[in-house]
Amino acid sequence: MNSENLLTLSGVHTHIGAYHILHGVDLAVPKGQVTLLLGRNGAGKSTTLRTIMGLWRASSGKLHFAGEDITALSTPEIASRNIAYVPENMGIFSDLTVRENMLLAARSAASERQMDPARLQWIFGLFPAVEKFWNHPAGKLSGGQKQMLAVARAIVEPRELLIVDEPSKGLAPAIINNMIDAFAELKRTGVTILLVEQNIRFAQKLGDSVAVMDNGVVVHSGSMAALSGDAALQKSLLGLAI
């Protein structure tokens, strides 16, 4: 794999208050690929995503997106580079309908009529629950349906990079398969995807590249195929064979 990198983190340190959480993260996200960020609980995966989005500020190190230094940019400026981020808590509005959640995510659309109808139909195809529950309060959706709405919101407009924190967390196997298919379709349209995942089967089905974090640093990076084919490496990095 020698395609160009859309996003790179070089020696990124992040402090949260008095705590030093990231200790020099080096991460490359190749353009057009699905990159999986793996690692045990507390390794620093979510903090890395929040640092990419400018929600935590890197105390040292550099972040580059499409050749531009984004280290000092604000979160809205970073998002305006067509980077979408779905946080662990999904960031949807429970009291609003699915439709209103989608409208709010479409920055350029003031009403439903202004949402790109072809894109909306494509999203309905990926996530039928979004269409089915269009006029229902989002808070009434199941966990899996909420996760689908969260990803649907993130892609309501075309994106360069889609970042999702643990998309399969708490989902039933059938919903996980639906989610895998949706990400595969997104990748097919050329979107670069960075996923934090604990579910190894999910990771293996989608991942091109993989980075494994521990204690606030990336301890391994390479191809998913190489990791999948090396039981000893899996055991040493993840504590289990895939």
Antiparallel, parallel or unpaired: β 161-165 and 192-196: parallel
Q: Determine if 51 is a binding residue for ligand ADP (CB under 6 A).
A: no
Cβ at position 105, least distance to ligand ADP in Å: 23
Instruction: Write the DSSP string, 85-114.
Output: EE-TTTT--TTSBHHHHHHHH-TT-SSGGG
Is residue 46 a contact point for Mg ion (CB under 5 A)?
Answer: yes
Task: Answer yes or no whether residue 153 interacts with ligand ADP by CB under 6 A.
Answer: no
Q: Binding residues for ligand ADP, how many (CB under 6 A)?
A: 11
Distance of CA 52 to the CA centre of its chain: 11
Based on the shown chain and the rule CB under 6 A, indicate whether residue 43 belongs to the binding site for ligand ADP: yes
- Measured between alpha carbons, how far is 90 from 80 in angstroms, rounded to an integer? 19
Looking at the Cβ atoms of 41 and 135, the one nearer to Mg ion is 41
101 lies in the site for ligand ADP, by CB under 6 A? no
Q: Establish if 44 lies at the interface with ligand ADP (CB under 6 A).
A: yes
Per CB under 5 A, residues contacting Mg ion are 45-46
Per CB under 6 A, residues contacting ligand ADP are 16, 19, 21, 39, 41-47
